[in-house]
Structure 1
Amino acid sequence: MLVCPFVNGQILVDVKEQRLEDVLYSLKNKYNLAFSIDHKLASDCLLTVQSNFKNLDKAVEFLTRECGYAYRKRESVFIIYKADQEELSEDVHIDKFLIRGQVIDEKTGESLPYADVIYDSVGVSCNEKGYFSIKPNKEELYVEIRYLGYYSKDTVLLNNQFSTIKLTPGRIGLKEVLIESSEQHSLTTISNNPGMIKLNFKTANFLPGNHSNSLLQYLRLQPGVLAAGEQSKDYFIWGSYLGQTKINFDGITLFSISNSFEELSIVNPLMIKEIEVYKGAYPASIDGRSGAIMNIIGKDGDNSRIRGALHMNDKTTSGLISVPIGQQLVLQTAFRNTYFDLFKFKNNQNLVSSDYDKLYDARYKYQDVNMKLSGKTSRNSSYYLSFIESSDQLYSEYYNDIYNKKYSIDASSKEVQHGANFSFIKNWKHLGISQYSLSYTILNLNRSNSVDFKDEADLQENTISTYNLVNRISEYNLKLQHTLPVFGKNSIDFGASIRYNMGFYVLDTSENSSNKLYSQGTILSAYAEHIFQPFKSLKIISGLRVESTGTDVAVLPRFSSELKLRDHLKAKLSWGIYKQYMNEMTIIDELGNQIFYWNICDGKKFPYQKSMHTSLGLGYKADKIYLGAEVYYRITDQLSRFYENNNDLNLSIGKSKVRGIDLTVRKTVYNHDLMLAYTYSKAEEYFDYFDNEEYMLA
């Protein structure tokens, strides 16, 4: 391809079978041509040209005509579109303007969920698949597109044209690329939304250790996630109890959020594209728990070529393969498999006047598989079918025989979880964006424990303690969500869902006869949410969620706001009421040991949890530095647990309160992100079996 500087006062274009996009970029590099065109249009047209042109206007006019396109010039920008697109007069009513598009990765074609589209000092978030829809009051928009870990991009979007905006990833695997903006956004962000953290798969390339759990382990470095002294394999966010944090993967609810081996996350990191964590006070569109929400979005796959990854170490093998099927369909398959015993030790020694024998044996096996089929339609809509299955098995045996006293423990645990979700995202021409989802999840849990103590010198001293637990929890969910095109300073979302849950458990112990419980429940819910930005410095989000069990109706208001106090200083406030219709119940024996199982609440014997969240934050961001502080307070009523007293299980109802503060300092120095986070949190609880009527540390 040859695009020469002025030859005899003219522009020479000499190309053969070249895309219009390549020709336009050559003109841009040599003559500073400013243009806006949909990527698909620019790629579909192949040109063979050998001509001289007096100026850029003549060159663009000829090239667009050869492709059957047309153009308008606004100031110094050439806006190129289909020739048969309807011309609009300057006095057309605002409702006739509509700008739609999708934000994707320049290299892989991956959609970039919840990317920010900024225009006229108004910020709009894309949906899960990177789609956006805006009704402006003019024919074209000058916008800035931002996404975590990518270079931002400034461009012009044209009315009645679906635009595909490609962003360039920053710092990772770049060779020679043309950067349209010098600003690259951090790999982790404390979102403008109160109580929210975002990070994506680009982060994992910079983390030490293996890839089996690196991305989710990185969450533990974030403020408000996991307080000191808690187990590292569970996610305790802002003092949430077990079962109060909901984890979704591609719209699939995951009831088991950890496994026996802490180096493995519950979702294969090779499949993760983005993680959103709502620590509390989240909007009306989110339901299901009274605590925190973790939303994990899976990759779509690369539709341009076959890609694969394989990671191996002395304990685990994990892999992924992505295969394009045609031009619009991608099939991904990922797996993980462990192949080791956690620990095995046996020792036989002759001690003075006594025999000593000790054995400890633990056998562990974890396997999982993820499959995802992603595709697009000819009308710029998309769909995906995602499936996940995991199996976590642990068997341990401990035996100690010393001085004729024999002590043994046998324990086993097996968790099998599987689920799937089908989603169709419809990009309407004038009505906005709809998402239809149908999902299910099933968790089967089996745990047993046997303790035996025998003193051969005293035949009366013989203790045996056992328990066996079988627990099954399932969920089936049908959901509709719709986002209207952004109009003026307003954005409206609404949706509805129907969810069915079923739970079953059997508990046998040496002290008690068999305890069995079958439970089920159906939840109908609907929500509406309004985002209003009356001024540049103020954004208000108000929402209402209504949930019904058939016998109980809950009205759950939500509110949040963001106020720009100065150029670099913002304040954030959020508040909401939340309800939870299932519990991860706790059984506490007389020795303080705990057993957990899932149960569906009935609103009577097992009441519905209800909580209120309040969060207030202050953030300063300037010159590659971020300083943030966020205080939070949450109260929860109708907690339930079993406690053992004189070999009887008793149900107790309680309440809790959590308060704390998150502090964050983040600084970018020579392309390195440095972050310091500190959390102070205090969680207290009160149950009616406590000896005194005072709150105690949870």
Structure 2
Amino acid sequence: MNKFILLLFITLSSVQIVAQEEIEVNCTDKPLNELLIEWRELYNMQFSFDDELLSQFLITKLESYASADLAISDILKGLPLSYQKNNNTYIVFKKKIIVHASTYLLSGKVIEKGTGEPLPFSHIEVNEYQTITDIKGTFSNTFNDSVFYVKTSHLGYYKLDTILIGTHFHSIELTPSFVGLPEIKVTNNIVEKSAQVGEKSGLIKLNHQIAEYLPGNGDNSVFNLLKLQPGVTASGENPNDLILWGSSEGTSIVQFDGFTIWGLKNLNDNISAVNPYMVKSIDINKGGYDATYSDFIGGIVDIYGRNGNRLKPSFHFFINNQTINSMLELPIGKKSSLVTAYRQNYYDLLSSNDVHIQEVNNIDRFNWDYNRPDYTFKDLNIKYTFQGDNGDLFYISALGGGDDLKINAQRDSTYNRPNGNLSIREKLDVSEKTNQVGASAFYGKTFSSAYSSSLKLSYSFYDNDYSVYSYRTIRDNERLRYSRDATNEIQEIKGDWQNLFQINQNHDITAGLSFIQNNTMLKEQLNNATNIDLISHASRVVFYAQDEVNLMKDLRLTAGIRVNYPTHIKNTNIDPRIALSYKPGLFKFNASWGFYHQFIVRTSIMDEDNRIRYAWYVGGYNNVPILKSQHAVLSAAYTTNNFLFSLDTYYKENSNLTRYIQFSQASYISDGQSKSYGLDVYVKKDFNGHSIWTSYSLGRTEEWYDYYTDETYRRAPQDQTHEFKIAGLLNLGSIHASASYIYGSGFPLFTDNIKYEYDEQDYNRVDISLIYQFKSQHFGGEIGLSILNLLNTDNVKYNSFQLLPIDEFNTVLVNEEAMKFTPLLHLKIKF
């Protein structure tokens, strides 16, 4: 027993001596496993480790340590290794690294190559996640990967596939598919050329560049492009308004750079109210649009203006046998640009054949002789844009323009009297003048990957002055027989603050606040006595919010609400709206439903001679109610690289329609309601640089007013059952040929609104175009010929007839002719 105790004491003493022995380290690039083995031999230390793992670490040290614990702790410092002491054995092992999920920011902007023009609402696919750039052309989101496989596309530009990394703000440049330079050849790219249909219910996105190759591409290319789309009525050549899915007068609106264009077309059908040089892209919302859009119960057309070339100055000049048009782009520094465009006619565009006057009450009497109508038109656009390197966008855009039409007619008649012949001269003077002014200021900023904001201020003003004077001269004594002077003005001031919150890759929230002020004035004098004098002022506050979330990989839900509070009636109007989109493979299915209110009313005015005119007024005043509507839309689309098929079906119910009945003995407001339903079919095929598309619209629009003699709905003036369109573009390098054909089954042309009597005439029109492009060292351009209504078909123009009384017994009919055979030769030059 004593021997055992002595042995135990000696052993413990030796262990204590080793533990307290100083550890010397003097090595250069020695593998760690070898160092520990050396310690085991010199200092009687015990180790357990992975020999292959520790051989990877080379140790260089010249140090002394008071204990083994201090030595091994210092040697392992900075290495992905740790140790644990167990019964005097040092166990060395690899550290457990806890990996925290990192997020990486991908942000940037999509711009046009060569000009730096931002491309709003471009489609971007990042690692199979899809998003859309905002109005500034910017995008921003966070991902769990630092390497991004990005596919970018924009209507009218070549698609781009690339790889990006995070932490940088990227500029993605897309090349236009129509560059106008035959010597530039782009291969192995897919071209998205003219239209995109099916992304949302009732939405058509248009590349305005395609309009440069369509018939009548000059001053009216905006309308020429719009009218070839499904659901946009082309028959009747409506000069003042767009008919989208059977929408009545004034229920569809056009916006340019955020301010309202109160009449898309001027009095001359070949000139649109928006200069085509200023247009970048067009969105058509035919119905079922979401809570972020303005308050109109028909459709909304958003036209986005170009921002100007920031890289080099350029000058564009256009002239045809009707008007001249020019645009100047000036870079200001590296981040700003100024663009101006000016148009005007240089001779009277209308001929005496464009207007016909005949007497209605006694048509066999003497015909009227009239001079060539006096017509003038001009407009001016100015836009300044600043684009920051971080995607910030600021612009100020302004438009001013108008037109003036004067018609003078006269006739001479002779009556046999017993005391001699009596000579009588009758004279008719008709005048209509319109002015459109608009301006907007916009600033948009992306603050972080999860939040962006924009502020937009806009102003628009429109007025229409209309007059009719009838004179009779007997024995050199001129007497005023009849006079009517009418003035209608509308003014809008609007501010909109919109915010986008990106919760994650699959969830976005949009919220905004708007303030809108509208002022209208409608005055009319009949025979120098005031007949109508209506002035209205209204303001309203609007709050809207929208939640977009991916319920599944291919299923997206959009739910929103729009709340209007008109201060003049102090009644809150709440409009819920919801949409679903499902995209399995190459198919896309959409459904949307919602309520809509409209606070600016284009009310119809009808007198006892069945003359119907239209005037803007604020709902909620003088028994004119606020318009209400309910939309339901279902759509489907199938899209491949060069083929598109889409189908839209819709149903709309409108209430609180008004018609001002103006009789000589009494006047009153008639209430009405309407319903529209139908479908659009659209097919488009691209092949070898060529395009062909066709569309068919089947629809019905019916209305009812309380002055009807029964409870039956009747066809609305804008109702048309069938409309068929086909258009094609042929690209032969420097030569472009195009053609379009439109057939419409016709509108009901009412001869008596009370008795529901009308006529109906088909609409047929063929247009063709041929363009040759040229380029020299210093400039480029094109020469083109368009022929409108090639077959000279005798069509009827929608709402073209004006019944004008010349006294208390007689009325004349002024008929503005639809487009006749019209050749347009143009020259376009770009420096």
TM-score, normalisation: structure 1: 0.81
How big is the alpha-carbon RMSD for the aligned residues of Structure 1 and Structure 2?
A: 2.6
- Per the alignment, residue 629 of structure 2 pairs with 611
SS of 1:484's partner is strand
- Deviation track 1:317-374 (CA, whole Å, cap 9, x = no partner) reads 111000111111101110101122222589xxxxxxx998823331001110000000
- Per the alignment, residue 393 of structure 2 pairs with 382
Distance in 1 (CA, whole Å) between partners of 2:694 and 2:413 is: 50
- Per the alignment, residue 468 of structure 1 pairs with 485
Higher relative contact order (CA 8 A, sep 6+): 2
Q: Which amino acid aligns with 1:422?
A: A
Paired residues of 1:279 and 1:293 also in contact (CA < 8 A): yes
Q: Which amino acid aligns with 1:561?
A: L
Q: Give the alignment partner of residue 553 of structure 1, picking from 572, 575, 578.
A: 572
Distance in 2 (CA, whole Å) between partners of 1:693 and 1:225 is: 30
- Deviation track 1:626-679 (CA, whole Å, cap 9, x = no partner) reads 222111110111011201234432211111100111011111122111001111
Q: Give the alignment partner of residue 111 of structure 2, picking from 100, 104, 110.
A: 104
Identical aligned residues as a percent: 28
- Per the alignment, residue 664 of structure 1 pairs with 682
Q: Give the alignment partner of residue 599 of structure 2, picking from 581, 600, 604.
A: 581
Q: Give the alignment partner of residue 495 of structure 1, picking from 512, 522, 526.
A: 512
- Which segment drifts farther, 401-410 or 419-428? 401-410
- Per the alignment, residue 366 of structure 1 pairs with 377
Distance in 2 (CA, whole Å) between partners of 1:97 and 1:493 is: 23
Aligned pairs for 1:619-634 (under 5 A) are: 619-622=637-640, 624-634=642-652
Distance in 1 (CA, whole Å) between partners of 2:112 and 2:467 is: 48
Assess, with a 3 A threshold, how the Cα gap between structure 1 residues 189 and 687 changes in structure 2: closer, same or farther.
same
- Deviation track 1:35-57 (CA, whole Å, cap 9, x = no partner) reads xxxxxxxxxxxxxxxxxxxxxxx
| Correspondence 1:645 to 2:656 | no
Q: Give the alignment partner of residue 225 of structure 1, picking from 222, 228, 232.
A: 232
- Per the alignment, residue 145 of structure 1 pairs with 152
Q: CA deviation at 1:112?
A: 0.7
Assess, with a 3 A threshold, how the Cα gap between structure 1 residues 453 and 674 changes in structure 2: closer, same or farther.
farther
For structure 2, the 5+ residue unaligned runs are 1-96, 356-364, 416-423, 717-831
For structure 1, the 5+ residue unaligned runs are 1-88, 347-353
- Per the alignment, residue 324 of structure 2 pairs with 317
- Per the alignment, residue 294 of structure 2 pairs with 287
Distance in 2 (CA, whole Å) between partners of 1:178 and 1:562 is: 37
- Per the alignment, residue 679 of structure 1 pairs with 697
| Correspondence 1:418 to 2:437 | yes
Distance in 1 (CA, whole Å) between partners of 2:216 and 2:289 is: 33
- Per the alignment, residue 258 of structure 1 pairs with 265
SS of 2:210's partner is helix
Distance in 1 (CA, whole Å) between partners of 2:193 and 2:321 is: 33
Distance in 1 (CA, whole Å) between partners of 2:98 and 2:680 is: 50
SS of 1:665's partner is strand
Assess, with a 3 A threshold, how the Cα gap between structure 1 residues 572 and 379 changes in structure 2: closer, same or farther.
closer
Paired residues of 1:151 and 1:181 also in contact (CA < 8 A): no
Q: Which amino acid aligns with 2:110?
A: V
| Correspondence 1:199 to 2:206 | yes
Distance in 1 (CA, whole Å) between partners of 2:408 and 2:98 is: 80
- Which segment drifts farther, 624-633 or 221-230? 221-230
Distance in 1 (CA, whole Å) between partners of 2:557 and 2:346 is: 52
Assess, with a 3 A threshold, how the Cα gap between structure 1 residues 406 and 494 changes in structure 2: closer, same or farther.
same
Paired residues of 1:531 and 1:540 also in contact (CA < 8 A): yes
Q: CA deviation at 1:588?
A: 0.9
| Correspondence 1:397 to 2:408 | yes
Q: Which amino acid aligns with 1:527?
A: Y
Q: CA deviation at 1:180?
A: 8.4
- Which segment drifts farther, 227-236 or 126-135? 227-236
Q: Give the alignment partner of residue 482 of structure 1, picking from 492, 495, 499.
A: 499
- Per the alignment, residue 133 of structure 1 pairs with 140
- Per the alignment, residue 343 of structure 1 pairs with 351
Paired residues of 2:217 and 2:224 also in contact (CA < 8 A): no
Paired residues of 1:356 and 1:401 also in contact (CA < 8 A): no
| Correspondence 1:654 to 2:672 | yes
Q: Which amino acid aligns with 2:701?
A: A
Assess, with a 3 A threshold, how the Cα gap between structure 1 residues 308 and 647 changes in structure 2: closer, same or farther.
farther
Distance in 1 (CA, whole Å) between partners of 2:713 and 2:367 is: 47
- Per the alignment, residue 58 of structure 1 pairs with none
Paired residues of 1:135 and 1:485 also in contact (CA < 8 A): no
Distance in 1 (CA, whole Å) between partners of 2:147 and 2:120 is: 23
Q: CA deviation at 1:113?
A: 1.2
Paired residues of 2:485 and 2:526 also in contact (CA < 8 A): yes
Assess, with a 3 A threshold, how the Cα gap between structure 1 residues 192 and 358 changes in structure 2: closer, same or farther.
same
Q: Which amino acid aligns with 1:548?
A: Y
Paired residues of 2:370 and 2:407 also in contact (CA < 8 A): no
Assess, with a 3 A threshold, how the Cα gap between structure 1 residues 464 and 651 changes in structure 2: closer, same or farther.
farther
Q: CA deviation at 1:378?
A: 4.8
Paired residues of 1:133 and 1:486 also in contact (CA < 8 A): no
- Per the alignment, residue 38 of structure 1 pairs with none
- Deviation track 1:244-297 (CA, whole Å, cap 9, x = no partner) reads 111111111111222111100111000000111100010110012111001010
Q: CA deviation at 1:463?
A: 10
Structure showing greater radius of gyration is: 2
Q: CA deviation at 1:485?
A: 3.1
SS of 1:98's partner is strand
Assess, with a 3 A threshold, how the Cα gap between structure 1 residues 524 and 90 changes in structure 2: closer, same or farther.
farther
SS of 2:372's partner is strand
Q: CA deviation at 1:178?
A: 8.2
SS of 2:623's partner is coil
SS of 1:491's partner is strand
Paired residues of 2:605 and 2:660 also in contact (CA < 8 A): yes
Assess, with a 3 A threshold, how the Cα gap between structure 1 residues 685 and 659 changes in structure 2: closer, same or farther.
same
Aligned residues: 597
Distance in 2 (CA, whole Å) between partners of 1:631 and 1:435 is: 34
Q: Which amino acid aligns with 1:608?
A: I
Assess, with a 3 A threshold, how the Cα gap between structure 1 residues 343 and 175 changes in structure 2: closer, same or farther.
closer
Assess, with a 3 A threshold, how the Cα gap between structure 1 residues 558 and 287 changes in structure 2: closer, same or farther.
same
Distance in 2 (CA, whole Å) between partners of 1:596 and 1:128 is: 34
Q: Which amino acid aligns with 2:351?
A: F
Distance in 2 (CA, whole Å) between partners of 1:604 and 1:356 is: 42
- Per the alignment, residue 523 of structure 1 pairs with 540
Distance in 1 (CA, whole Å) between partners of 2:471 and 2:578 is: 55
SS of 2:373's partner is strand
Assess, with a 3 A threshold, how the Cα gap between structure 1 residues 90 and 530 changes in structure 2: closer, same or farther.
farther
Q: Which amino acid aligns with 1:247?
A: V
Paired residues of 1:277 and 1:292 also in contact (CA < 8 A): yes
Q: CA deviation at 1:303?
A: 0.7
- Per the alignment, residue 67 of structure 1 pairs with none
| Correspondence 1:542 to 2:559 | yes
- Which segment drifts farther, 262-271 or 635-644? 635-644
Paired residues of 1:319 and 1:336 also in contact (CA < 8 A): yes
- Which segment drifts farther, 465-474 or 419-428? 465-474
Assess, with a 3 A threshold, how the Cα gap between structure 1 residues 540 and 315 changes in structure 2: closer, same or farther.
same
SS of 2:708's partner is coil
Paired residues of 2:582 and 2:590 also in contact (CA < 8 A): yes
Q: CA deviation at 1:408?
A: 3.5
Q: CA deviation at 1:413?
A: 1.1
Q: Give the alignment partner of residue 327 of structure 1, picking from 324, 330, 334.
A: 334
Paired residues of 1:638 and 1:654 also in contact (CA < 8 A): yes
| Correspondence 1:442 to 2:453 | no
- Deviation track 1:578-629 (CA, whole Å, cap 9, x = no partner) reads 1001111211112221222111112671111010111111222236222221
| Correspondence 1:429 to 2:448 | yes
- Deviation track 1:481-505 (CA, whole Å, cap 9, x = no partner) reads 1122361311221111111111112
- Per the alignment, residue 588 of structure 2 pairs with 570
SS of 1:169's partner is coil
Q: Which amino acid aligns with 1:206?
A: Y
